[in-house]
Structure 1
Amino acid sequence: MSADTAEPWETVVTDTETFDCEYCGRPFAREQFLALHYGVDHPESIDDEQRAAYAAALEEEDAELRKFRLKALLALVVVYFGFLLLWAVVNLAF
């Protein structure tokens, strides 16, 4: 697939190092993404070392998602109580 017709997620910058899948040739920007790809798309073909890398990458991704969810919840609480205080100030002032 040429760079002109590639989807944005398939476009690879050629001056950076990529990690290519040994089974399908798909390039990845990070080794963690390659490990996740192996576990999701090629689980029957990977060896024990790749399976361990997949488990570690999956655990790291879960931790990052958990952190993101906590930050999103905190932001939601701050916005909610900000609007609540704004509503209280407006109603008490008039």
Structure 2
Amino acid sequence: LAQCVTHIDPRYWDAPTAFRPGRWLDGSERPRFAYFPFGGGPRVCIGNHFAMLEGTLALNRIVPTVSFEPLGPVPPAAIASITWRPSEPVPVRVTRRQ
């Protein structure tokens, strides 16, 4: 089962290709494998819990100290590869907050 297929399946996601971080806040119940970025079953990524913890800690330390300003078209087109990625570089200006 290809992750990129279920990750944009309109049966599970409203506007599946739109960048809407708030979709995770609504508490909706979805099938177990509607979103599985680290795989699943016996071949699940052994680093998934560490990656989620590390990502959460990094964002909690970085985001309050800087501002991000996109310098190109938003959102950029996406390409389905091993993971979803932008079709071209995404220029962003990062400035320290005062």
TM-score by length of 1: 0.31
More helix by share: 1
Report which structure shows greater RCO (CA 8 Å, sep ≥6): 2
TM-score by length of 2: 0.30
Q: Which has the larger radius of gyration?
A: 1
More strand by share: 2
